[in-house]
Amino acid sequence: MQKLKNGFARLMYGRNGVDQLGMATIWACLILDIVSMFLQRRAAVAAAVLYWAAMVLWVLAIFRMFSKNLYKRREENSRWVQMRWKFQSGRRGAKERHADKDHKYFTCKGCKTICRVPVGKGSVEITCPKCGMKIHGKT
């Protein structure tokens, strides 16, 4: 068993292996396979399309795992992690803003910056700290 383990370690030396994008691709493949299985009787064409999409993703995941071009694979994974972080932090921030009853939040139309003002100040004019655009609103 140790020889098999050492042989696999030698095979994978200098290769990308599994990263976060690879795991997300594998999970997407599994989900597409399961959905295609349930659709097989009702919508055969949709099931076939999902099945082949899953197969393409499997090939992509295996290609990424065994790739020796580490620079490109790490760059792809970095873009995936950044995109996922932006999505998660945006949702987390929106949840926190919704729970905050002491402040009113305004979004700048110029640069999409979120500006915070205490509640109960009446009509206010806010200057965006990034672009300097004026925002009018009630608190």
Q: Tell me, yes or no, whether 89 and 31 share the same domain.
A: yes
The HSE-up count of residue 13 (CA atoms within 13 Å, CB side) is 7
pLDDT recorded at residue 104: 86
Q: Tell me, yes or no, whether 36 and 85 share the same domain.
A: yes
pLDDT recorded at residue 118: 86
pLDDT recorded at residue 26: 95
Q: How many of the other CB atoms lie within 10 Å of CB of 73? A: 20
3-class SS shares of the chain: helix, strand, coil, % to 5:
60, 15, 25
Percent of the chain at pLDDT above 70?
100
Q: In this model, does residue 30 exceed pLDDT 80? A: yes
Q: Tell me, yes or no, whether 106 and 133 share the same domain.
A: yes
Query: What average pLDDT score do residues 83-104 get?
Result: 81
pTM above threshold 0.85? no
pLDDT grade, residue 101 (50/70/90)?
Answer: confident
pLDDT recorded at residue 110: 83
> Which range of residues forms the domain containing residue 73?
2-99
Q: Tell me, yes or no, whether 31 and 89 share the same domain.
A: yes
